Structure formats: C-alpha cells, structure tokens
Amino acid sequence: MCKECGCGEMNGNTRLQFTVTGYTETIAKEVEKSLLGLPGVLFVHIHAHDGETTVDYAPKKTKLTDILGIFESRGLAAAL
C-alpha cells in the first residue's frame, strides 16, 4: 500500500496475471521499469523464461491500454 496517497488493495486496485511471449532478460527488465513508471502501477513481477507476468495497478490512475501499449511497443504479445 502506498503510504503517500493511501492507494492499495482496499482501494480498488487490480492484479493482472498473464503470459507474455517474446521476452529476453533485457527486454523483461526494460518492460518492468517502464511499467513501474506508469502512474498507479504498484507492483510488477516478470518471469522472462516462461513469460509469466504479474502487474498490480490502480485503474483510476492507469488504463489497461497504457499497460498493454508497453508490451506492444516492444513487439511482445500479452495473452490476457
């Protein structure tokens, strides 16, 4: 939970768990950094070897299309 604005599990955050194809170790690190730079993204965990990806975010601050755009801009396919 964010101590500054109070956002967290109790305030309508969403957890996405999905598979992404096309990761390399380098691209996975870049994607993680880019996702964490979006407003409202609180947590990102990526397993580059099998594509398992978890993102916790506040839909009131970040749109799902913004998150998916991070993957698309790197030629990755996210299967939600």
Residue 2 belongs to a domain: no
Task: Name the residue range of residue 23's domain.
Answer: 9-79
Q: Are the beta carbons of 51 and 31 closer than 8 angstroms?
A: no
Q: Are the beta carbons of 34 and 46 closer than 8 angstroms?
A: no
Q: What pLDDT shows up at residue 12?
A: 80
Number of domains composing the chain: 1
Q: What is the CATH number of the domain that holds 38?
A: 3.30.70.100
Residue 62 belongs to a domain: yes
Of 8-12, 69-73, 74-78, least confident by mean pLDDT is: 8-12
Give whole-number Cα distances, 31 to 12, 42, 43, in Å: 24, 14, 12
Which among 53, 13, 19, 51 has a CA at the least distance from the CA of 35? 53
Residue 34 belongs to a domain: yes
The reported pTM is 0.84
